C-alpha cells in the first residue's frame, strides 16, 4: 500500500530545461504541477476530516439535549440507531479519512516533492557557466539547494494538512452555529476576519525577517565551508584567528537576524492570546445569554463552549502554521536568488552533435573583453590544422586561458567564431563539444570518490584493463596500488578526499593525465600539465604525452618553454593578440618577444615581465 502511494509521482521524471520561476507563488505552482491528480483528493480529505471533527462537537451538544429529554428508559429506542451510525463513523470513517490524507501527504507529497525540487535545482545549476560558480560559495549554493527542497515540502505539506482543514473547519462551524442561532455565527465570523488580518500583518513581517535570516545563514555556511575547504592555506599563513573573526562577523549578523525573528514570535504570542480572549467572551457570552432567555438549549451552549475551546487551541496552531509558511517563503525566495538565474551559456534549440573528423580548429576574428573595454582577446585569427601540435605562449594576462575557455564554451565569445572541422561550436551541443576535447590543467581537481571513479570519468565504459593501462602510461599505477583510505579501501577503490586532497599535487596530476589518456579525445589541451611533477617523473610523462598526442590536435600552454620546443608550431600572444608564430628555432632566431622570454627564463620558468 505504501509503495502504491509513493509511486503515484516520479520526482525524477524528465522535464524541459527551463529556468525555474523567480517568484514564490509561480515556483510553488510549478512544483505542485506533477501532483495535480493528487491535489483534489488532498483537499477532499481535509474538508471531510474538518466536517467530521466539527460535526462531532455539535452532535455532542445534541446528545446532551436528547439524553436530558429522553431519560434512560427511552433513549436507546429513540436515538440508538443514530448513535450507532455516529459510533461507526468515529471508528471507521474518521480513521479512514485521516489515513488517506496522511498517505497522500507523507508518501505521495512529502516523500517526493522535496527531492523533486532538489533534483531540478541541482540539474539547472549544473548547466550554469563556470563563471557562475566562481562568483559564489559552493557551500552557500549547496545550502540553498538543500534548504529549497525542505522549505517547499514544508510549505505544501502545511497548506494541505493544516490550512485546508482550518478553513473548512471554520466554514462548517459557522454554518452549524447559524443553524443553532444566527447571532452565534456573527461573533465567529468577526473573530475569523480579525484573526486573518492579524496573521497576515505578522506573517508579512516574518517573511522579510526569515529571508534575511536565511540569507545570513547561507552566508555564514559559505564562509565556514570556505575555511574548511582551504584549511591548509589557513594553517600555512597562520590565519586561524582571522578566520574565526571572519566567521564571527557572520555569526553575529545571523544572531541579530534571529533575534529580530524571535521578537515577532513574542509579539505574536501577546496578540494571539488577546484574540482568543475575545473569541471566548464573544461566543460563549451570547450563548449563555440566549440560554438564560430560553432561546437555546444547554446542549447548544455546551457545543458552543466546546467549539470555542477547540478554536482557542487551534488558533495558535493555525497561526504558527501560517508563520511557518511565511518563514519558509523567505527561505524559498532566498534560494531562488541562486536557482532562478538564467543560464548564460546554452545550447541552441537545433544544436547538433559535434562530428570531429580531423580536428581542425579555426578562430575567426575572436574578441572577448569580459564586458569591459579592454583585456581578454582582441581580434584573434588563428587556424590550427588537424593533427597539428601547437604551443601557446604569453605573459600572464595575454589571453591564453581566455582562448581555451572560449574553445570549451565555458563562456561564449562576445565577437567572432570558433570552428572545429568547419562546425561553429556555438551551434553544437556543449556535451558533444567537450566529449571531443581532453584537457589537463595545472590544478587538476578530483572528485571525492574512488580513484577508479575518477579515472572512469574520462571514459565510463572503459574496461579494467584499459583503465590500468592508462594509469601505467601516466606513471600512476604504482602509487595507486599503495593507497589506503580511512575506511580501509585500498588501491583503485580508495577515496581521494575532497578535490583529491589526500594525494600530493604530483599524484593528482598523474591521475588527471591518466583520465585524459583514457578519454582519448581527438583534441587535447594541456594547460601546464606537468608543472606539478618533479623533474624525473616529468621527463617520463613528457614522453607519454608526446605519444598520446599522435594523431590529435593539440594546444599546449606552458611557462616552461623547453616543454614546447618539440611542438610543430608555437603561437605567441600578447595583450590579446597573436604577435608571433613559428617553430621554436624560427622564433628564437627572429629576436622577438618569444626570443626575449626564452633568454630571460631562469631555471626553465617564464619571467613575469
Q: Is residue 7 part of a domain?
A: no
DSSP-assigned states of every residue in 506-547? HHHHHHHHHHHHHH--SEEEEESTTTTS-HHHHHHHHHHHHH
Confidence of residue 63 (pLDDT cuts 50, 70, 90): confident
Confidence of residue 404 (pLDDT cuts 50, 70, 90): very high
Sign of CA dihedral 490, 493, 497, 503: positive
Lowest mean pLDDT among 274-283, 461-470, 480-489, 527-536: 527-536
Whether the per-residue pLDDT at 531 is higher than 70: the answer is no
Highest mean pLDDT among 45-59, 147-161, 320-334: 147-161
Give the three cell numbers for residue 571.
603561437
Q: What is the pLDDT of residues 407-437, one digit of tens each?
A: 999 989 999 999 999 999 999 999 999 999 9
Based on the domain organization, do 516 and 473 belong to the same domain? yes
3-state DSSP call for residue 502?
A: coil
Give the three cell numbers for residue 329.
517563503
Confidence of residue 536 (pLDDT cuts 50, 70, 90): low
Lowest mean pLDDT among 44-53, 209-218, 345-354, 586-595: 209-218
Whether the per-residue pLDDT at 401 is higher than 80: the answer is yes
Based on the domain organization, do 450 and 382 belong to the same domain? no
Sign of CA dihedral 147, 149, 150, 155: positive
- Find, among 503, 411, 413, 519, the residue nearest to 458 by Cα: 519
Q: Is residue 13 part of a domain?
A: no
- Domain end among 339, 366, 400: 339
Based on the domain organization, do 281 and 426 belong to the same domain? no
Average pLDDT over residues 516-526: 92
Q: Is residue 345 part of a domain?
A: no
Based on the domain organization, do 400 and 261 belong to the same domain? no
Average pLDDT over residues 116-127: 91
Percent of the chain at pLDDT above 90? 33
Whether the per-residue pLDDT at 604 is higher than 50: the answer is no
pLDDT of residue 540: 67
Q: Is residue 16 part of a domain?
A: no
pLDDT of residue 134: 77
Confidence of residue 609 (pLDDT cuts 50, 70, 90): very low
Q: Is residue 14 part of a domain?
A: no
Average pLDDT over residues 288-295: 81
The CATH number linked to 164 is 1.20.1560.10
- Domain end among 307, 339, 371: 339
Spatial separation of the C-alpha atoms in residues 28 and 517, rounded to whole Å: 46
Who wins on pLDDT, 29 or 306?
29
Based on the domain organization, do 360 and 287 belong to the same domain? no
Confidence of residue 384 (pLDDT cuts 50, 70, 90): very high
Q: Are 104 and 41 in contact (CB under 8 A)?
A: yes
Give the three cell numbers for residue 321.
502554521
Pairing, β 415-420 against β 361-368:
antiparallel
Based on the domain organization, do 394 and 487 belong to the same domain? no
Q: Is residue 8 part of a domain?
A: no
- 3-state secondary structure labels for all residues of 284-304: HHHHHHHHHCCCCCHHHHHHH
Who wins on pLDDT, 152 or 249?
152
Number of domains within the chain: 3
Average model confidence (pLDDT) for the chain? 85
Q: What is the pLDDT of residues 580-602, one digit of tens each?
A: 999 988 998 888 888 888 887 64
Based on the domain organization, do 601 and 510 belong to the same domain? no
Based on the domain organization, do 266 and 409 belong to the same domain? no
pLDDT of residue 532: 59
- Find, among 84, 324, 344, 360, the residue nearest to 209 by Cα: 324
346, with CB counted inside 10 A (0-12, 13-18, 19+), is middle
Q: Is residue 344 part of a domain?
A: no
Whether the per-residue pLDDT at 608 is higher than 70: the answer is no
Domain extent, residue 461, equals 443-520
pLDDT of residue 606: 46
Q: In this structure, how many other beta carbons lie within 10 angstroms of the beta carbon of residue 178?
A: 15
Residues 6+ apart with CB under 8 A from 37: 8
Based on the domain organization, do 331 and 362 belong to the same domain? no
Based on the domain organization, do 488 and 533 belong to the same domain? no
Q: Is residue 11 part of a domain?
A: no
The CATH number linked to 418 is 3.40.50.300
- Domain end among 317, 339, 361: 339
pLDDT of residue 605: 45
Based on the domain organization, do 122 and 259 belong to the same domain? yes
User: What pairs with residue 524 in β-bridges?
Assistant: 438, 554
Whether the per-residue pLDDT at 147 is higher than 70: the answer is yes
Based on the domain organization, do 54 and 86 belong to the same domain? yes
Average pLDDT over residues 518-532: 84
pLDDT of residue 480: 93
Amino acid at each position: 500500500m505504501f509503495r502504491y502511494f509513493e509511486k503515484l509521482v516520479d520526482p525524477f521524471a524528465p522535464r524541459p530545461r527551463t529556468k525555474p520561476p523567480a517568484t514564490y507563488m509561480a515556483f510553488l505552482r510549478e512544483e505542485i504541477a506533477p501532483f495535480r491528480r493528487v491535489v483534489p483528493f488532498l483537499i477532499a480529505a481535509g474538508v471531510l476530516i474538518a466536517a467530521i471533527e466539527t460535526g462531532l462537537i455539535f452532535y455532542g451538544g445534541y446528545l446532551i439535549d436528547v439524553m436530558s429529554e429522553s431519560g434512560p428508559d427511552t433513549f436507546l429506542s429513540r436515538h440508538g440507531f443514530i448513535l450507532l451510525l455516529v459510533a461507526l463513523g468515529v471508528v471507521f470513517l474518521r480513521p479512514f479519512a485521516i489515513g488517506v490524507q496522511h498517505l497522500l501527504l507523507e508518501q505521495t507529497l512529502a516523500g517526493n516533492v522535496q527531492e523533486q525540487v532538489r533534483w531540478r535545482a541541482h540539474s539547472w545549476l549544473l548547466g550554469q557557466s563556470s563563471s557562475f560558480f566562481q562568483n559564489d560559495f559552493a557551500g552557500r549554493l549547496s545550502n540553498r539547494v538543500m534548504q529549497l527542497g525542505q522549505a517547499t515540502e514544508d510549505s505544501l505539506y502545511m497548506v494541505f494538512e493544516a490550512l485546508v482543514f482550518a478553513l473548512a473547519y471554520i466554514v462548517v462551524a459557522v454554518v452549524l452555529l447559524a443553524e443553532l442561532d444566527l447571532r452565534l455565527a456573527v461573533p465567529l465570523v468577526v473573530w475569523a476576519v480579525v484573526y486573518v488580518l492579524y496573521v497576515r500583518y505578522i506573517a508579512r513581517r516574518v517573511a522579510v525577517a526569515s529571508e534575511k535570516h536565511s540569507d545570513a545563514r547561507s552566508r555564514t555556511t559559505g564562509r565556514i565551508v570556505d575555511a574548511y575547504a582551504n584549511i591548509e592555506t589557513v594553517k600555512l599563513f597562520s590565519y586561524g584567528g582571522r578566520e574565526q573573526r571572519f566567521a564571527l562577523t557572520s555569526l553575529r549578523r545571523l544572531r541579530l537576524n534571529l533575534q529580530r525573528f524571535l521578537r515577532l514570535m513574542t509579539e505574536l504570542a501577546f496578540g494571539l492570546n488577546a484574540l482568543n480572549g475575545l473569541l471566548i467572551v464573544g461566543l460563549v457570552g451570547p450563548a449563555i445569554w440566549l440560554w438564560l432567555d430560553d432561546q437555546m438549549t444547554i446542549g447548544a451552549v455546551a457545543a458552543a463552549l466546546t467549539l470555542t475551546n477547540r478554536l482557542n487551541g487551534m488558533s495558535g496552531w493555525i497561526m504558527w502554521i501560517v508563520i511557518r509558511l511565511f518563514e519558509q517563503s523567505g527561505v524559498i525566495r532566498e534560494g531562488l536568488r541562486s536557482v532562478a538565474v538564467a543560464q548564460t551559456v546554452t545550447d541552441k534549440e537545433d544544436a547538433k552533435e559535434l562530428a570531429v573528423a580531423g580536428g581542425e580548429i579555426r578562430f575567426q576574428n575572436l574578441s572577448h573583453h569580459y564586458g569591459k573595454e579592454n583585456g581578454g582577446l582582441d581580434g584573434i585569427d588563428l587556424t590550427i590544422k588537424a593533427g597539428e601540435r601547437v604551443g601557446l605562449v604569453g605573459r600572464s594576462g595575454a589571453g591564453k586561458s581566455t582562448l581555451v575557455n572560449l574553445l570549451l564554451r565555458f563562456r561564449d565569445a562576445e565577437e567572432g567564431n570558433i570552428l572545429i572541422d568547419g562546425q561553429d561550436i556555438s551551434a553544437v551541443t556543449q556535451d558533444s563539444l567537450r566529449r571531443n576535447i581532453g584537457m589537463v590543467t595545472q590544478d587538476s581537481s578530483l572528485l571525492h570518490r574512488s580513484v577508479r571513479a575518477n579515472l572512469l570519468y574520462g571514459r565510463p565504459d572503459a574496461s579494467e584493463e584499459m583503465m590500468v593501462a592508462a594509469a601505467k602510461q601516466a606513471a600512476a599505477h604504482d602509487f595507486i596500488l599503495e593507497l589506503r583510505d580511512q575506511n580501509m579501501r585500498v588501491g583503485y577503490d580508495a577515496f581521494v578526499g575532497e578535490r583529491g586532497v589526500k594525494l600530493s599535487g604530483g599524484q593528482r596530476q598523474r591521475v588527471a593525465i591518466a583520465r585524459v589518456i583514457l578519454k582519448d579525445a581527438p583534441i587535447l589541451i594541456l594547460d601546464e600539465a606537468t608543472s606539478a611533477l618533479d623533474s624525473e617523473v616529468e621527463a617520463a610523462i613528457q614522453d607519454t604525452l608526446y605519444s598520446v598526442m599522435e594523431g590529435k590536435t593539440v594546444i599546449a600552454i606552458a611557462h616552461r618553454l623547453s616543454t614546447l620546443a618539440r611542438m610543430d608550431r608555437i603561437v605567441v600572444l600578447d595583450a590579446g593578440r597573436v604577435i608571433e608564430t613559428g617553430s621554436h628555432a624560427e622564433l628564437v632566431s627572429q629576436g622577438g618577444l618569444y626570443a626575449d622570454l626564452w633568454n630571460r627564463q631562469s631555471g626553465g620558468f617564464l619571467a613575469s615581465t
